[in-house]
Amino acid sequence: MSLLENKVAFVSGGGSGIGRAVAEAYAREGAKVVISDINVEHGEETVKVIKDSGGEAFFVKGDSSSASDNKRMVEVTVSKYGRLDIACNNAGMGGPAKPTGEYEPDAWDRVIALNLSGVFYACRYQLEQMEKNGGGSIVNIASIHGQVAAPLSPAYTASKHGVVGLTKNIAAEYAQKNIRCNAVGPGYIEAALLKDNLNNDAMNAIASKAPMNRLGTAEEIAELVTFLSSEKSSFTTGSYIIADGGYTAV
Ligand SMILES: NC(=O)c1ccc[n+]([C@@H]2O[C@H](COP(=O)([O-])OP(=O)(O)OC[C@H]3O[C@@H](n4cnc5c(N)ncnc54)[C@H](O)[C@@H]3O)[C@@H](O)[C@H]2O)c1
């Protein structure tokens, strides 16, 4: 039997990068997957990739920084597949590169709205539904910058530290209700968020900071997320697990 057989899973930001890899991994393991993204074309593309390989998936457009959209995304999931067992709250953005003393308050608000408030809104409504189901597993995508600084990205660092704290709170509050909540901290991954913001030299320089001397892949993060979403990790909650090629070890 596959790891996520008969489970209903939700992934935000599933149109690209880590979110798409997680959605594909969930589907491969037998889950019915609801994919949300603000980008309709990319989200629908992920659904097509999954369906073409025999999986079950459905797209719902949503802005993860909106509380009402997060509420609606849970409602759509339940009306389509009847329940919600697994959620990967992945949608996120980097924001501009500026030192804290020059960082525009508007940019701060946008990054926090998606990366931190968005994860709270998602969990808020997912938890309500998972309680009705009798359990569930949430995996929030943080970053290594949930633990160490990302100089010139103060809002990103603050948002990801916040996600780690929120994850621990949820784990403590819902452990008795059969709901687990964990955070994953990817190191530098070859995905749009990085490619759009850095040139090749900068990407190589970052890769060389990790003992493995390479960037990670979205699929490597998806494997960890799938493990944390499944019963294989049944005693793991409130954890923040880093996958970074050793970047934060040195
Ligand atoms: N790529 C990396 O190196 C890296 C490292 C650590 C953590 N992360 C985290 O992983 C997550 C995914 O990153 P990625 O690299 O796959 O990025 P990506 O840009 O490839 O994908 C992000 C997806 O989120 C969607 N999105 C953006 N704003 C949205 C919104 N308001 N509502 C709904 N969807 C929205 C985008 O359309 C896109 O499909 C983010 O939370 C990011 O912070 C990435």
Quote the pLDDT of residue 193: 67
Mutate which of 20, 193, 248 for ligand 1 pocket (most atoms within 8 A of beta carbon): 193
Quote the pLDDT of residue 145: 98
The pairing of strands 32-37 and 136-141 is unpaired
207 CB less than 6 Å from ligand 1? no
Q: How far is the CA of 70 from the centre of ligand 1 (A)?
A: 16
95 CB less than 6 Å from ligand 1? no
Q: How far is the CA of 141 from the centre of ligand 1 (A)?
A: 9
92 CB less than 6 Å from ligand 1? yes
Query: pTM of the predicted model, to two decimals?
Result: 0.98
Ligand 1: atom nearest CA of 192 is: 20
Mutate which of 16, 110, 112, 206 for ligand 1 pocket (most atoms within 8 A of beta carbon): 16
Identify the sign of the CA torsion 90, 137, 27, 61: negative
Burial 91-107 (b: 16+ CB within 10 A, else e): bbbbbbeeeeeebeeee
167 CB less than 6 Å from ligand 1? no
Nearest to 136 by CA among 125, 146, 120, 145: 125
139 CB less than 6 Å from ligand 1? no
Write out the catalytic residue numbers.
156
Radius of gyration of the chain (CA): 17
Q: How far is the CA of 93 from the centre of ligand 1 (A)?
A: 6
Quote the pLDDT of residue 199: 85
Beta-ladder partners of 189: 216
Q: How far apart are CA 232 and CA 210, in angstroms?
A: 28
143 CB less than 6 Å from ligand 1? yes
Q: Decide: 16 and 45 in contact? Cβ < 8 Å.
A: no
- Closest-CA residue, ligand 1 atom 23, reads 13
Quote the pLDDT of residue 202: 86
150 CB less than 6 Å from ligand 1? no
Q: How far apart are CA 110 and CA 95, in angstroms?
A: 8
Q: Domains in the chain, ordered, with CATH?
A: 8-249 (3.40.50.720)
Mean pLDDT by 10 residues, the chain (250 residues): 95 98 98 98 98 98 98 98 98 97 98 99 99 98 98 98 99 98 97 77 91 97 98 98 97
